[in-house]
Every structure is written in structure tokens, then in C-alpha cells.
A and B are shown apart, each in its own frame.
Chain A
Amino acid sequence: MKFIKPENIDSLLENLEDNKGRTYFLAGGTDLNVQIKNGIIRNPNIIYINHLSELNGINAANGSIIIGATTSFHEILESKIIRLHLPFFQKSLESFASPLLQNSATIGGNIANGSPTADVVPLLLILDAEIELSSKTRNRSIYLKDFFNGYKQNVMESNEIITKIIINKSAEKNFITFYEKVGSRKALAISKVSLAGMKRVSGYKITMIKLSVGSINEYPRRLFKVEDYLTDKTASEIDFTKVEELLDKEITPITDLRSDKEYRYHVCVNLIRTFINQ
């Protein structure tokens, strides 16, 4: 076990260059500590990052909202910039864990941990958020939809770290929004199914729609095929048998301790129906 508390971001990136074996970043610690306690992670190599001011804070610049990776959910919920530009995003995060965990848990941690149930990911997916990955030699931005590639797997190199989350300032503008998290109780629920949606409607016709689901697949993802089918249709033109068929191709519901596949599938279909008819 190795523990490093880098002085600044440069020293952090320097450390990552000779990163051998698996290393865990410690930010808020709300997921990592549970995994250590339960023996899922043993004798980990840890780099502490929560004190690095370069990774913290919310700013608006060049038409974008930039959220530092170690910004806590409490900070996002209190942020005036987020309230002004991304009120739906902010409101939806009120159901994140509990006020106690919101004070510690960070947005970058919720993404990097890669849980299929990560609350913030479906929301960021429909907002077309990008994340910045940094290493000593380069910074690259990728769309969050291209970040995950398997259960708790992602495209990050061993010398990289998530530094920023970037959302377009007008990402929510003129959209009808929807966010529903289905869990066993209100506070602290790890969702069984969550659906985030945004649509534009002209007359009765859906002119644009974005949907993403959490807790269904190995990682949260967009439902591009369903979106394509629903676009340019009125509610009465939509055949929900067809939606179910498409959904069948796009989701492979997992069975875990919280719920089984069939339940998740049906709730997902019902949530889409609710949003369409809204």
C-alpha cells in the first residue's frame, strides 16, 4: 500500500507517469471507503486529490459551465451559476443520496467509480456533457457517452485523471425535462431504475428527444435508437410495442440484489411512456 498527497496538480500528473499497478484516487471517499471496508479493495495504492484547488469549483466560461472533478454535490446544489443555467440538473440532484453524503461525495467520483447506478451520469448524458481527462503530456475532452466501455470500465489511461466536467450553458434551454428515480425509499436510495429525458415539442410533434437510463445496463447510457424512433412523431403516432422492441435491443437489464431484469425492463418502458404523455 502506497499513499500519496501531491502538492499540486503538476505533481499529481507527474506521479501518474510512473503509476504501476492499480491506483485509486481519494476525493470525498464515500464510495472508496465502503469498498475498502467490504474487502472489495485490499491494500490499495491511493492518491489523495480532495485538497487540490485546481480540481474544485464551478465556473462559467465561453458558453460553458465547467465543474471541477472534486466539486461536491452540496456545492452543485448551492451554486448560483448552476441554478441560473442548469436548473433541471440542479433540482434532479436533490435526490442524490442524503444531505450528509452530498457534503462529501464529488461529481468526478460519481463518474469515475463507474457504478451502473451512478445518479449523476444519466443527467450528464442527456446534457451532452464532456469530461476533460488530463495527463502530464496532454489534456483531452471526450463526450461522457464515450467514457464507459463495460461494468466499472472506462477509456481512461493509467496516467490520466478526470479534471473537469463541461456542460454547454444552454444545454437545458427550451427543453421539457424529466427525471425519475425509482428506489425503495426517498433518502439514500440506490436506484433500481432511473430515466432522464429532455424533449422539444412543436405543435404536438416531438422535434427532438434525448433519453438515458441508469441502473439498467452495466453502465448508464443513452437510448439513441428509441430517440430516433420517437423524433418527428406525435404522441398518438407512437407505437409502444415498437418502443419496447427497440428498447430490447438497447438495454440488457441486470439482475442484482435490488431488483430483477423483468421489473427493470417494465419500469423503464413505463417511465418513457409517462414522459411522452407529459
Chain B
Amino acid sequence: MKVSFKLNNKNVTINTDPMRRLLDILREDFNLLGTKESCGEGECGACTVLLDGKPVTSCLVNAVHIDGKEVMTPEGIAQEPLGKLLIDCFDETNAVQCGFCFPGFLVTSYHYLKTDGEKNLNKIKKALSGNICRCTGYQKIFESVMLACERN
């Protein structure tokens, strides 16, 4: 099936199996390796991307879902001013250890900053509750998002 969508602000068209996972399309067809696979069941958030501006787990999104839609990956977000701000804040607070979960956190935090952005720990915790980090214990991640809210 022919699938046309906007990927990181650029129009693209691919010919693919309608059931193919968005995660695989991004990694295999576009070499966008920032989107990671961990659980493959929507539980960990490592593969989070924005679909029409909303964060979703790309392991559970099929090619058919993205036809005519907009997809933003961690690579695209890293080019946006708010993405850059977040990366600086994650860096400053030493929030990243092994880094595997980080692209997913970047996407979800970016969405929070864009749609709400209040420096409120409970709201941030809730917004990031679909992303799992197995290294840091989350405190530093929350701190960096709080910092980004303050500077934004």
C-alpha cells in the first residue's frame, strides 16, 4: 500500500505492507535510529514519536495509521528550539545514564512543554508516566523537565 506522510516536516511516500510497524519504517526505511525498540508492547515508551502532535508508542502504530498524518521523531524534535532546550536541560542535570530511554523521554517531555509547560512536578510525572527508565530513578529526569519549564 502507498503511504504518504509528513516526516520531521518533510513530505515522504513509501510503498509498504499496511500492517508494518511505524517503528520499523522509521528505523529501516529512513535510518532514524533514535526511535528505539525495547518491549515492543507499548509499555516502555522507548519508541515514542509524535503522531499528529500526540505522543504514541510507534511499536503499536501500523503503516496504515500514518497515511496523511504528521510524524515527528526524536531527530526532528532535536532540531526544534524546545527540543534543544530540553536536551540542554537533560545535559545540565545529568539526567541521562545509559541513554536508551532518552529519545522517548525527549518526545514526551517536548509534548508536555508544548501543550502545557507548567512547572508542576505532579503534572510532569503524569505526562511522563508511559516512559520507563531503568537507570536513573527518574528524579533527575523530572528535574530537567522542571528546569526546561522554568526557562521556557
Q: Which residues of A contact B (CB under 8 A)?
A: 3, 5, 26, 28-30, 33-34, 36-37, 46, 48, 50, 74, 97-101, 103-104, 186-188
Contacts and interface: CB of A to CB of B under 8 A. Distances in A.
A46 B64 CA distance: 11
A29 B60 contact: yes
B145 to A, nearest CB: 14
A50 B18 CA distance: 13
A37 B41 contact: yes
Given A29-B61, A37-B41, A188 B19 contact: no
B130 A5 contact: no
Interface residues of B, number: 27
Nearest to B108: A100
Contacts of A46: 19
Greatest chain B CB density within 10 A among A34, A46, A97, A103 is at A103
B41 A99 contact: no
A50 B51 CA distance: 14
A101 B127 CA distance: 12
A104 B61 contact: yes
27 contacts: A3-B1, A29-B61, A29-B62, A30-B60, A33-B60, A33-B62, A34-B41, A37-B40, A50-B65, A97-B130, A98-B45, A99-B55, A99-B108, A99-B126, A99-B129, A99-B130, A100-B42, A100-B130, A101-B42, A101-B60, A103-B55, A104-B42, A104-B57, A187-B129, A187-B130, A188-B43, A188-B130
Classify the interface of chain B: helix, strand, loop or mixed. mixed
Interface string B5-40: 000000000000011010000000000000000001
B51 A103 contact: yes
Contacts of B62: 26, 29, 33
B69 to A, nearest CB: 10
Contacts of B40: 37
B140 interface: no
A100 B18 contact: no
Nearest to B21: A33
Nearest to A72: B54
Contacts, number: 74
A29 B57 CA distance: 11
Nearest to A103: B54
A100 B54 CA distance: 8
B129 A188 contact: yes
Interface in B48-66: 48, 51, 54-57, 59-62, 64-65
Contacts of B48: 100
Interface string B126-152: 110111000000000000000000000
A97 B60 CA distance: 14
B51 to A, nearest CB: 7
Nearest to B47: A100
A186 B128 CA distance: 12
A33 to B, nearest CB: 5
B41 A100 contact: no
Contact of B59 (A28, A33, A74, A188): A33
A48 B18 contact: yes
Interface in B99-130: 108, 126-127, 129-130
A103 B54 CA distance: 7
B64 A186 contact: no
Contacts of A97: 42, 130
